[in-house]
Amino acid sequence: MTMRPSLRKFALTVHLTSSVGWIGAVITYLTLGVAAVTTRDPLTVRAAWSAMELIGWNAIVPLALGSLLTGLIMALGTQWGLFRHYWVVFSLVLTVVATAILLEHMPSVSSTAAMVRAADATQLARGLGGDLLHPAAGLLVLLVIQVLNMYKPQGLTPYGWRKQQEHRSIKAPATTR
């Protein structure tokens, strides 16, 4: 089943907006994380962790879920299919894994933000540390997904190959002797 062109363009627009927004929000989150880790200024640490929590829950999580949902819609509603091409399968798996890790990671961000808000300036001035691995690895995964979706490397899955053969046999004219 393929979508009507106007619906496909709308779904693609929403998908691209969600996906690129997710990348932008992660870059912002990572920038705040670097600020929180490298400063000794208690106000900056508090502000950074509070902003990371807000951006995480109110931008990154919704954009990740939106990207996942619209990616499924695009795969199911276009000729690419969900399991026909390896690049679609890899994109789906990476998106699901990234979203799951994000949802698992965000409660610890909220805990750290709450701890930072309750800490006194002396504790914060000693340095808090922070987790830059999650947002940096997440950004790398999102960029890999972006490259896969832009370049669409060739390669049909066994399911995709079977579907292609079925499609060709239906379209091939019957020959009579």
Give the list of residues 6+ apart from residue 145 with CB closer than 8 angstroms, or none.
Answer: 19, 91, 94, 95, 98
What pLDDT score does 4 carry?
Answer: 93
Contacting residues for 11 by C-beta, under 8 A, at least 6 apart: 3, 70, 73, 74, 77
Phi, psi of 20 (to 5 degrees): -70, -35
pLDDT digits (tens, 9 = 90+) for 104-160: 999 999 999 999 999 888 877 776 667 899 999 999 999 999 999 999 888 888 888
Classify 126 as helix, strand or coil: coil
Q: What is the dihedral of CA 29, 32, 36, 40, to 10 degrees?
A: 180
The pTM assigned to this predicted structure is: 0.88
Per-residue pLDDT at 113: 94
The number of residues making up the chain comes to: 177
Q: Over 60: is that where the pLDDT of 176 sits?
A: no
Confidence of residue 177 (pLDDT cuts 50, 70, 90): low
Q: Is the pLDDT of residue 103 over 90?
A: yes
